[in-house]
Amino acid sequence: MRFFYRDRPSFLSALLSAPTAAHEAPWVISLPPSGVVSSASALASKRASVLLHRPFEAPTLIGFFCGDAYLADSEIEIAGSRVGDLSAEIRRHNSLYYREDRPEVTDAEYDGLLRELRSLEEQYPELRRPDSPTQRVGASVAGTGFATAAHKTPMLSLDNAMDADEMRAFDQRIRRMLDRDDDLEYMAEPKLDGSAVELVYRDGRFSQGLTRGDGRVGEDVSANLRQIPSIPDALPESPEPPPEFVSVRGEVVLPLEAFRTLNAARRARELEPFANPRNAAAGSLRQIHDIDLLRLRSLEFRAYALAEGTPEANASQWENLETLRQWNFLVSPECETCQGVDGAIRFYAKLLARRSDLDVEIDGVVIKVNPLELQHTLGALSRSPRWAIAYKFPPEQVATRIEEIDIQVGRTGALTPVAKLDPVRVGGVTVSNATLHNQDEINRKDIRVGDTVVVQRAGDVIPQIVRVLLAEREGRIQEGASLKPYSLPSACPICGGATIRLDGESVTRCPNLDCPAQLKNNLRHLAGRGALDIDGLGEKIVDLLVEGGLVGRLSDLFTLETESLRALERMGEKSAANLIASLERAKKTSLPRFLIALGIPHVGATMAEVLAHEFGDLEPLMAASAAEIEEIEGVGTAIAESVVRFFADSSNAAEIQRLRALGVHWAPVEAVATDTQGKLRGFSFVLTGTLSSPRAEFKQRIEAAGGKVVGSLSKKTRFLVAGENPGTKLQKANDLGVEIVDEAGLEALF
């Protein structure tokens, strides 16, 4: 459904009146990527794409607001902008999930972003790029600290089915591809919630272990995998010797009992407990320094696939699982063959009912075509096999009471309300906290202290409040309880300063840059694994440094001395010396890591790499305008403005200067090799439409000849290279006076 109106009032009138009359559920307006708003007044005056959707359904892109005018751009331009925003957001979440083991969104929210992107790319094929998240798996493994290696066979992901209708659609699709009217035999297996790895055996002995990585290249975590007791060092020679090369795929999981034991031990050592078994398994597997063998030996590897080395006699996935069992691998005992899609749906229902009785966490069922011959016939897409699908479980829900609402202050000053719950078991884990996000979310759900609420672990990871049980509230009020609407405080609970909420933002903030909570969180961020990676600078030490007056800003870290550290509680001579040594090592870093450490809003690991490689060093980036930054492929307006605003702040600039004066340094990033005297020197290009070769090849040739390829047209663009079906960029190029050439015209420029 799309509406196009030139003026804002008539657009809003139609938007807010028509859908409710035409549909059984109310509709809402969304401003991506974060918020849902229920009134026109909350629409920001800045340019923002607007989404229309019913609750729990995928949004439909409908247009842009800019000031008071609704811009009815052509659909392809609107879609192109949204595709860029979605791609950047999904890449950021991939990095958080696969590289940093700290997801910020639920599985359901992530799946919604990916589905929206896939839908737009199917509607506008010319917008699909080879590096789109819909065409790739996982996240890049560059700069993680591990050696890397290629998977002999790509380690793909799975498409999802969220209900029985989508499961039946999957069955119909593959039977149509196979020209089959009869029921197919499926293999149904628990979808383990852990960390996927590949084990390589050469001549029967364990040779190498890799994480999924980006699906083609993974991290070599062989040394850590060797510590997991359930991974065989060698494959048995009988009844038949194993093939020379064997690739076993499976999941590293942490059993629930081991998870509880591990977290109890961490609490005893005053360490932060892991949020869930998946994070614990992934984090344990990817340890580099001070490896905790106890954590590794608590893990299990459960095999689910033979990627290479299938015995010739095996004709099915079931037989492959039997082979893995004979080779002494753990295989989930719940696996079953099912006849037809109805059999697969029945298995799903049976396992869902047993879910809380299992010894490991699962978040669904994997349904695979059982005969290997049919798997080979169906083949795979760039991101997932056609012959398998993940049939996801709905989040588990339980009722509990909100005892109080605490306020946490983040590193940017954002106040986050957190509901303190009467502890309750959800999905095998005890939940006592749930984030409430912001005041708008509290108002939308009408959440009050003392309410009985329904809680779920969204995507079975992050606890969230689904709804309030209003009947319970009425009963408590009749009993004399006072359950008043909740408002975030007008004063920061940490420093006491007045809080603010800017127009167009959903977040309430403490603007005091000297607020101890912000400083502590910024220090933890700077010391994190993806930033300066300072060993020994944990949460407790940060608290001691700030509260003891030793650190009042980030750069103060590098002025610390052993003598002053020894005066801190629980800081012995050895610990102090180790921390000083870690700080000294951290001074030598890379530009991407330094950019991450600065905590620039909207600049995560992926964007830091992009900016570093584009500008080469810090000074050119600090001097760049928002327009120049926005010309970089994959960089949107919000990111560009955030970067410029950060460096324009005199206190930030002074802190950067002080950090460098104290010895923090890096080597400039090597730019792509170009011919500085090349024929295309000084020319910028935009590529559009379908070209005869991948765009990456054209980009490489242009840059090698001294040119520059940017993502969007501007008056500075010299050439638009137009392939087939170029879309609306042709008209925009004409309007801007940009010269348009085809592939032959481009060749003539070299």
Residues 53 and 681: their CA atoms lie apart, in Å, by: 47
Place of tokens 């089915």: 161
At 743 the three-state DSSP class reads helix
Would you call 572 exposed, middle or buried from its count of C-beta atoms within 10 A (0-12, 13-18, 19+)?
Answer: exposed
Measured at the CA of 422, the angle between CA 421 and CA 423, to 5 degrees, comes to 95
Pairing mode, if any, of strands 665-666 and 588-589? Answer: parallel
* Polymer length of the chain: 750
Measured at the CA of 47, the angle between CA 43 and CA 48, to 5 degrees, comes to 60
Residues 654 and 648: their CA atoms lie apart, in Å, by: 11
Kindly give, in sequence order, each residue whose CB lies less than 8 Å from that of residue 447, ignoring residues fewer than 6 positions away.
402, 419, 436, 441, 453, 465, 468, 486
At 219 the three-state DSSP class reads strand
One-letter amino acid of 338? C
Tokens coding 532 = 């300066």
Give the H/E segment covering residue 191.
strand 185-192
Sheet order of strands, 245-253 included? 205-211, 195-202, 245-253, 300-308
**What is the CA 423 to chain-centroid distance, rounded?**
28
Q: What is the Cα Rg of the chain in Å?
A: 27
Would you call 178 exposed, middle or buried from its count of C-beta atoms within 10 A (0-12, 13-18, 19+)?
Answer: middle
Q: Please provide the DSSP assignment of 73-124 as one string.
A: --HHHHHHHHHHHHHHHHHHHHIIIIISS---S-HHHHHHHHHHHHHHHHH-
Measured at the CA of 180, the angle between CA 178 and CA 185, to 5 degrees, comes to 90
HSE-CB for 665 with a 13 A CA cutoff: 5
Place of tokens 């919000």: 638
Place of tokens 């997991």: 228
Is residue 552 within 8 Å of residue 495, measured between CB atoms? Answer: no
> Which residues share a beta bridge with 36?
30
Given the residues 191, 368, 708, 729, select the one marked as catalytic: 191
Residues 337 and 320: their CA atoms lie apart, in Å, by: 13
HSE-CB for 383 with a 13 A CA cutoff: 16
> Which residues share a beta bridge with 200?
208, 247
Residues 567 and 582: their CA atoms lie apart, in Å, by: 19
The reply to whether 191 belongs to the active site is: yes
Kindly give, in sequence order, each residue whose CB lies less than 8 Å from that of residue 518, ignoring residues fewer than 6 positions away.
409, 410, 411, 412, 413, 510, 512
Which residue stretches of 95-231 are H helix? 107-123, 164-178, 222-225
Place of tokens 């005892």: 403
Residues 281 and 261: their CA atoms lie apart, in Å, by: 13
Residues catalogued as catalytic: 191
